Amino acid sequence: MVVMPDADLDAAADALVSAAYGAAGQRCMAVTVAVAVGAAGEVLVAKTAERANTFTVGPGAAPGTDMGPLISEVALDRVRGALELSVAQGGRLIVDGRERPAPGAGYFIGPSLVDHVSVESDLYREEVFGPVLSVLRARDLEHALQIVNDNPYGNGAAIFTSSGAAARRFTRGVRAGSVGVNIPIPVPISWFGFGGWGDSRFGDDGLNYDAYRFYTRSKVITQRWTEPTPGLAPHFVAAAGQ
pLDDT in tens, 165-182: 999 999 989 988 788 899
| 195-213 pLDDT per residue, tens | 566 655 555 555 556 666 7
* pLDDT of 222 above 90: no
Active-site option among 10, 27, 28, 42: 28
> Mean pLDDT, the chain, as a whole number?
86
Q: Which fold has domain 2-214?
A: Aldehyde Dehydrogenase; Chain A, domain 2 (3.40.309)
The pLDDT value given to residue 240: 41
Q: Which segments within 106-198 are labelled E, that is strand?
A: 112-115, 132-138, 153-154, 156-160, 178-181, 197-198
**What residues contact 82, with CB distance under 8 A and at least 6 apart?**
122, 123, 126, 128, 130, 132
| 93-124 pLDDT per residue, tens | 999 999 998 888 999 999 999 999 999 999 99
**What predicted TM-score, i.e. pTM, was given to this entire model?**
0.82
What's the sign of the alpha-carbon dihedral 174, 179, 181, 182?
negative
The pLDDT value given to residue 192: 55
Active site annotation includes 166: no
CB 93 within 8 A of CB 83: yes
Residue 119 has phi, psi (to 5 degrees) of -70, -15
Q: Where are the domains of the chain?
A: 2-214
Give residue 224's pLDDT band: very low, low, confident or very high (50, 70, 90). low
